[in-house]
Protein backbone atom coordinates (compact mmCIF):
# COMPACT_ATOMS: atom_id res chain seq x y z
CA UNK A 1 0.00 0.00 0.00
CA UNK A 2 1.28 3.48 -0.88
CA UNK A 3 1.35 6.14 1.84
CA UNK A 4 -0.36 9.41 0.90
CA UNK A 5 0.14 12.43 3.14
CA UNK A 6 -3.03 14.02 1.71
CA UNK A 7 -5.38 11.29 2.93
CA UNK A 8 -5.45 9.55 6.34
CA UNK A 9 -4.65 5.86 5.92
CA UNK A 10 -6.79 2.81 6.64
CA UNK A 11 -9.93 4.52 7.92
CA UNK A 12 -13.32 5.67 6.73
CA UNK A 13 -13.15 9.32 5.66
CA UNK A 14 -16.64 10.84 5.50
CA UNK A 15 -17.13 13.75 3.12
CA UNK A 16 -19.63 16.17 4.67
CA UNK A 17 -21.30 18.79 2.49
CA UNK A 18 -21.83 22.39 3.63
CA UNK A 19 -23.26 25.37 1.78
CA UNK A 20 -20.70 27.55 3.57
CA UNK A 21 -17.48 25.58 4.06
CA UNK A 22 -15.66 28.54 5.66
CA UNK A 23 -18.38 28.99 8.29
CA UNK A 24 -18.52 25.22 8.92
CA UNK A 25 -14.74 25.04 9.28
CA UNK A 26 -14.70 27.78 11.91
CA UNK A 27 -17.78 26.42 13.72
CA UNK A 28 -16.52 22.82 13.93
CA UNK A 29 -13.16 23.99 15.27
CA UNK A 30 -14.66 26.31 17.87
CA UNK A 31 -17.64 24.21 18.92
CA UNK A 32 -16.52 20.57 18.59
CA UNK A 33 -12.75 21.01 18.93
CA UNK A 34 -11.63 19.85 15.48
CA UNK A 35 -8.25 20.92 14.08
CA UNK A 36 -7.55 21.75 10.44
CA UNK A 37 -5.07 19.65 8.44
CA UNK A 38 -5.46 21.58 5.16
CA UNK A 39 -7.93 23.48 2.99
CA UNK A 40 -8.36 23.92 -0.77
CA UNK A 41 -10.10 26.43 -3.00
CA UNK A 42 -11.78 26.66 -6.39
CA UNK A 43 -9.95 28.57 -9.16
CA UNK A 44 -11.88 31.74 -8.19
CA UNK A 45 -10.50 31.49 -4.64
CA UNK A 46 -13.74 30.28 -3.01
CA UNK A 47 -13.05 27.76 -0.26
CA UNK A 48 -14.14 24.37 -1.60
CA UNK A 49 -13.04 21.95 1.12
CA UNK A 50 -11.00 21.23 4.22
CA UNK A 51 -9.69 18.17 6.02
CA UNK A 52 -10.29 18.21 9.79
CA UNK A 53 -9.41 15.85 12.61
CA UNK A 54 -10.15 15.36 16.29
CA UNK A 55 -8.04 12.65 17.86
CA UNK A 56 -8.19 9.72 15.45
CA UNK A 57 -11.41 10.91 13.76
CA UNK A 58 -11.04 12.59 10.36
CA UNK A 59 -13.68 14.33 8.22
CA UNK A 60 -13.56 16.11 4.88
CA UNK A 61 -15.72 19.23 4.50
CA UNK A 62 -16.80 20.05 0.96
CA UNK A 63 -19.09 22.42 -0.88
CA UNK A 64 -22.14 20.79 -2.42
CA UNK A 65 -21.62 19.14 -5.78
CA UNK A 66 -23.48 16.92 -8.18
CA UNK A 67 -26.05 14.89 -6.22
CA UNK A 68 -24.62 16.11 -2.90
CA UNK A 69 -26.07 18.79 -0.65
CA UNK A 70 -26.31 20.04 2.92
CA UNK A 71 -29.07 18.83 5.28
CA UNK A 72 -30.19 22.46 5.52
CA UNK A 73 -31.20 22.21 1.84
CA UNK A 74 -33.09 18.96 2.44
CA UNK A 75 -34.88 19.74 5.68
CA UNK A 76 -33.02 16.89 7.41
CA UNK A 77 -30.05 14.57 7.11
CA UNK A 78 -29.51 10.98 6.05
CA UNK A 79 -26.71 9.99 8.45
CA UNK A 80 -25.13 10.72 11.80
CA UNK A 81 -21.45 10.79 12.68
CA UNK A 82 -20.19 9.25 15.94
CA UNK A 83 -16.91 10.55 17.35
CA UNK A 84 -15.29 9.06 20.46
CA UNK A 85 -13.74 11.60 22.84
CA UNK A 86 -11.67 11.19 26.00
CA UNK A 87 -13.47 13.61 28.34
CA UNK A 88 -17.06 13.41 27.15
CA UNK A 89 -18.54 15.51 29.94
CA UNK A 90 -16.08 18.38 29.33
CA UNK A 91 -16.75 18.15 25.58
CA UNK A 92 -20.49 18.30 26.24
CA UNK A 93 -20.13 21.38 28.46
CA UNK A 94 -17.97 23.13 25.85
CA UNK A 95 -20.40 22.27 23.04
CA UNK A 96 -23.34 23.53 25.09
CA UNK A 97 -21.52 26.76 26.05
CA UNK A 98 -20.63 27.34 22.38
CA UNK A 99 -24.36 27.40 21.58
CA UNK A 100 -24.80 24.14 19.67
CA UNK A 101 -28.28 22.66 19.49
CA UNK A 102 -28.28 19.55 21.69
CA UNK A 103 -30.42 16.82 20.10
CA UNK A 104 -29.88 14.22 22.85
CA UNK A 105 -28.66 14.99 26.34
CA UNK A 106 -25.91 12.88 27.90
CA UNK A 107 -27.12 9.35 28.63
CA UNK A 108 -25.81 5.80 29.05
CA UNK A 109 -26.82 3.33 26.34
CA UNK A 110 -27.75 -0.30 26.86
CA UNK A 111 -24.77 -1.27 24.72
CA UNK A 112 -22.14 0.33 26.99
CA UNK A 113 -21.63 3.87 25.66
CA UNK A 114 -22.19 7.25 27.28
CA UNK A 115 -23.11 9.76 24.61
CA UNK A 116 -24.89 12.91 23.51
CA UNK A 117 -25.91 14.29 20.13
CA UNK A 118 -25.74 17.81 18.73
CA UNK A 119 -26.68 19.45 15.44
CA UNK A 120 -24.14 21.62 13.67
CA UNK A 121 -24.78 24.94 11.95
CA UNK A 122 -26.25 23.27 8.83
CA UNK A 123 -28.11 20.41 10.51
CA UNK A 124 -25.64 17.52 10.42
CA UNK A 125 -26.08 15.37 13.55
CA UNK A 126 -22.92 14.55 15.48
CA UNK A 127 -22.88 11.96 18.29
CA UNK A 128 -20.02 12.22 20.78
CA UNK A 129 -19.39 9.18 22.96
CA UNK A 130 -17.08 7.25 25.23
CA UNK A 131 -16.99 3.60 26.27
CA UNK A 132 -18.21 3.15 29.85
CA UNK A 133 -18.60 -0.63 30.07
CA UNK A 134 -18.06 -3.78 28.04
CA UNK A 135 -21.37 -5.32 26.96
CA UNK A 136 -21.74 -8.40 24.76
CA UNK A 137 -24.00 -7.57 21.77
CA UNK A 138 -26.43 -10.38 22.62
CA UNK A 139 -26.93 -8.88 26.11
CA UNK A 140 -28.87 -5.97 24.61
CA UNK A 141 -30.65 -7.88 21.86
CA UNK A 142 -28.29 -7.82 18.88
CA UNK A 143 -27.87 -10.92 16.76
CA UNK A 144 -24.30 -11.85 15.91
CA UNK A 145 -23.55 -12.63 12.28
CA UNK A 146 -22.33 -16.09 11.40
CA UNK A 147 -18.72 -15.37 10.47
CA UNK A 148 -17.64 -18.93 9.64
Which domains can be identified in the chain, with CATH numbers? Answer: 15-140 (3.10.180.10)
pTM for the full predicted model: 0.85
As a whole number of angstroms, the distance between CA 122 and CA 19 comes to 8
The confidence score (pLDDT) of residue 91 equals 98
Give me the residues paired with residue 51 across strands. 38, 60
Mind listing the pLDDT tens digit for each residue in 66-78? 776 666 666 666 6
pLDDT tens-digit readout, 119-133: 999 899 999 999 999
Cα dist from 21 to 1, 73, 83, whole Å: 31, 14, 20
pLDDT band at 12; cut points 50, 70, 90: confident
Write out 18-44 in H/E/C secondary structure: CCCHHHHHHHHHHHHCCEEEEEEECCC
Amino acid sequence: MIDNRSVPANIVLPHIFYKDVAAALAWLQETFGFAEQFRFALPDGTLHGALLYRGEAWVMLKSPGIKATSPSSLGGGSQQLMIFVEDLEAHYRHTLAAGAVIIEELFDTEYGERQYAAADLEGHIWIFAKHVRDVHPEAWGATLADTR
